[in-house]
Amino acid sequence: MKHLFLVITAVSALTLCSCATAETASVTTQEKENQDTLYQVALLQSLVQGYYDGIVTVGELKKHGDTGIGTFEGVNGEMIVLDGTVYQALADGSIATPSDEETVPFSNVTFFDTDQTLSLKNIKDMAALQEVMTGVVNELGSNCFYMVKIDGTFDAIKVRSEYKQEKPYRALDAALAEDQTEFDFENIDGTIVGLYCPDYMGGLNTPGWHFHFITKDRTKGGHVLQVSVAQAEASFDMTDGFEMALSRETEFQDMELAKNVDEAIHKAETATNGTSE
């Protein structure tokens, strides 16, 4: 029988930044055996409050998963991890592949293993997509984590990214209000990588769904604000383990992470400036 387990580690950001090598991209046998674990870097609550310093390197992150979402130091764009490659959706609309030495202030990754599939067709908007996806979660068990991949054709999709922030950092909702860029695509093929967190994760992440998108040709992408699905196949990875890496840096340790920032998280997840590039 599988059991939900929690492992929390504190790491030195400076140590990881200075010690990253090509070897960090390799995956040990032990790590491969532990595929049903969601690895989280820091808290969404720390990111929303403005802690944008890197905690682990991209190379280290790859040791913990081949699929996921997140961002980069300074909130420099949106992260999409797919099939073992880390992509960076930049504010100008382009896609980069960051080096293993780039650092990460927040992310969720896992080694993807399909537990359930679902065909999607004529899904009119984000609310409808979430309703259908949540139906599968409720059927399989709503107290586990789920990483999903949705491959297909999207009638329309609105995504956002953001320009890199410089210190002193502002809170995330304030930064996005000024530096968020948005892009609208129609009749486009690609993949949504999504994360579902259970309700009890409200103090460490955001309960429910969080989606990032990348086009099939890997040239465009970002955080999904709105979507309609023409036809797609959704794959679900039910994950019953959880591991979180925290920073030992003084600035992080001094944060009031139990403070309720739900409103700021909601703004960061859903706010649109009404313009597209």
pLDDT tens digits, 163-187: 999 999 999 999 999 999 999 999 9
For residue 275, tell me if it sits in a domain. no
Amino acid identity at 85: T
Can you tell me the distance from the alpha carbon of 90 to that of 161, in angstroms, rounded to the nearest whole number? 6
Single out the residue of 79, 72, 80 nearest to residue 54, CA to CA: 72
Can you tell me the distance from the alpha carbon of 48 to that of 93, in angstroms, rounded to the nearest whole number? 22
Q: Report pLDDT for 34.
A: 59
Q: Where are the alpha helices (DSSP H) in the chain?
A: 13-19, 29-33, 44-48, 58-62, 126-140, 172-179, 250-253, 262-270
Q: Give the CA angle between residues 151, 268, 235 to the nearest 5°.
A: 20
Q: Report pLDDT for 25.
A: 38
Instruction: Determine the 3-state secondary structure of 136 from DSSP.
Output: helix
Q: Report pLDDT for 27.
A: 46
Contacts of 18 by beta carbon, 8 Å cutoff, 6+ apart: none
For range 190-218, the mean pLDDT: 97
Q: Report pLDDT for 8.
A: 59
Q: What is the pLDDT of residues 12-44, one digit of tens each?
A: 543 333 333 333 334 444 455 557 999 999 999
The domain total for the chain is 1
**Inter-residue contact 173 to 260 (CB < 8 Å):** no
The token pair that represents 121 in the structure block: 């067709």
Share of the chain above pLDDT 70, in %: 87
For residue 45, tell me if it sits in a domain. yes
Q: What is the pLDDT of residues 231-262, one digit of tens each?
A: 999 999 999 999 999 999 999 999 999 999 99
Contacts of 114 by beta carbon, 8 Å cutoff, 6+ apart: 235, 236, 237
Number of helical (H) and strand (E) elements in the chain, helices listed first: 8, 15
For residue 152, tell me if it sits in a domain. yes
The token pair that represents 73 in the structure block: 């130091």
Q: What is the pLDDT of residues 75-120, one digit of tens each?
A: 999 999 999 999 999 999 999 999 999 999 999 999 999 999 999 9
Q: Report pLDDT for 35.
A: 77
For residue 224, tell me if it sits in a domain. yes
Query: Crossing angle, helix 172-179 and helix 262-270, to 10 degrees?
Result: 20
For residue 276, tell me if it sits in a domain. no
Q: Report pLDDT for 30.
A: 46
Cα separations in angstroms, 194 against 11, 25, 45:
26, 23, 19
Host domain of residue 105: 5-270
> What CATH number does residue 201 fall under?
3.30.1330.80
Amino acid identity at 80: I
275/113: higher pLDDT: 113
Q: Which long-range contacts (CB under 8 A, 24 or more apart) does 92-97 make?
A: 92/181, 93/161, 93/181, 93/183, 93/220, 93/277, 94/219, 94/220, 95/214, 95/218, 95/219, 95/220, 95/221
Share of the chain above pLDDT 90, in %: 85
For residue 20, tell me if it sits in a domain. yes
Can you tell me the distance from the alpha carbon of 53 to that of 56, in angstroms, rounded to the nearest whole number? 9
Give backbone dihedrals phi and psi of 129, rounded to 5 degrees, phi first. -65, -45
Q: Report pLDDT for 276.
A: 74
Q: What is the pLDDT of residues 51-87, one digit of tens each?
A: 999 999 999 999 999 999 999 999 999 999 999 999 9
For residue 122, tell me if it sits in a domain. yes
**Inter-residue contact 89 to 77 (CB < 8 Å):** yes
**Inter-residue contact 235 to 149 (CB < 8 Å):** yes
For residue 277, tell me if it sits in a domain. no
